[in-house]
Amino acid sequence: MSCVVSNASFLRTSALSLIAGIVAAAAFGWPAVGEEGAAVPNFSPESRVGWIAGDPAGPTPIGDDFLPQPPGAGPGPVMFDKDHPYIDNRVAREKRLQPTNRVADLSNPILQPWAKEQLRKLNQRALTETMLLTPKERCWPIGVPGWMLYPVTPVYFLQTPKEVVLIWQEDHMVRHIYLTDQHPPNVKPSWFGDSIGHYENGDTLVVDTIGLTTRTFVDSYRTPHTDQLHVVERYRIIDGGKALEAIAHVEDPGAFTTPWTAFQRYRRAEQGPLGEEVCAENNATFFNYEIDPIPHADRPDF
């Protein structure tokens, strides 16, 4: 357990050390073109600018689920079972309904039999337990493409000539995307994998990720994956800089019958520079419900 927490603690510590870097990078002003002469989109024109997942007026206002699959987009991610629609706390308050746990749609044809069986067991828990929280809600890193489901607080982009660092404010989760065209040999599995990227068309960041630990899931329903998981994300500035379109192409022949695509949308937020927020210091037992533990260390990191 301590090694797991050490990794999570390192991510949060790295984020804190990058706060000054965000301001410094904005002040320094990186070149407007890349090494090959391609225009570089500016995801962080100043330190106040971040991006919040979800569309307040759309079907996924909070941002912790992928958007409904657009017509003609092909296979998509696991969503809720139609007989057990997911009702989050916000919708429950607004419509005076009872909130529910997530129950996965097992009819989705992307699932290999073993993955479907794992979700079936989780569905049984979801239908019988008072509360079944996601790993993110228990302070665990959620991997890729799960990164696109970090909600409520902004994701900040720190762009430098050699890498792009993504930081989710709420628990200071950090991803490093190296602007190169090759993954290193013998990538060791990690929470967010090994990510490399490049810019396209002056408005898009393309990210290629492998090496994701199987302790993560690909969505908020805890859909599992294998060590063959390969994800390509595309973050594109749209609506005159007021929003981001995020698309993830997912391949894993060990867990899925076919490649599939997931969609997310972010809105621009200027609520201030990256603030300090800590997840794992919150209530560990959560009113004594039988829920998954939060990360904890058996010994200090320093």
Percent of the chain with pLDDT over 90: 63
Write out pLDDT tens, residues 100-152. Answer: 999 999 999 999 999 999 999 999 999 998 778 888 888 889 999 999 999 99
Stretches where the chain sits below pLDDT 70 are 1-38, 282-291, 301
- Name the H helices within the chain: 2-28, 89-95, 113-128
Other Cβ atoms less than 10 A from the Cβ of 81: the count is: 20
pLDDT at residue number 36: 59
> Three-state DSSP class for 199?
strand
Half-sphere exposure of 83 (CA within 13 A, CB side): 5
- Please identify which residue in the block is written with the tokens 């337990």: 129
Residues pairing with 159 in the sheet: 164
What pLDDT does residue 24 have? 39
> What pLDDT, on a 0 to 100 scale, did the predictor assign at position 13?
44
Burial of 6 (0-12, 13-18, 19+ CB in 10 A): middle
At 146, the amino acid letter reads G
- How would you label 34-73 residue by residue, b for 16+ Cβ within 10 Å and e otherwise? eeeeeebbbbbeebbbbbbbbbeeeebbbbbbbbebeeee
Residue 89's alpha-carbon distances to 95, 99, 143, in angstroms, are 10, 6, 24
**Contact present, 97 and 91 (Cβ < 8 Å):** yes
* Burial of residue 20 (number of CB atoms within 10 Å: 0-12, 13-18, 19+): exposed
Tell me: the pLDDT tens digits for 269-279? 998 778 888 88
Under DSSP, the state recorded for 18 is H
Is the Cα dihedral 208, 211, 216, 217 positive or negative? Answer: positive
User: Please, which contacts does 181-188 make with residues 24 or more away whose CB atoms are closer than 8 Å?
Assistant: 183/208, 183/210, 183/211, 187/211
Place of tokens 């989050």: 88
CA nearest to 6, candidates 16, 285, 283, 14: 14
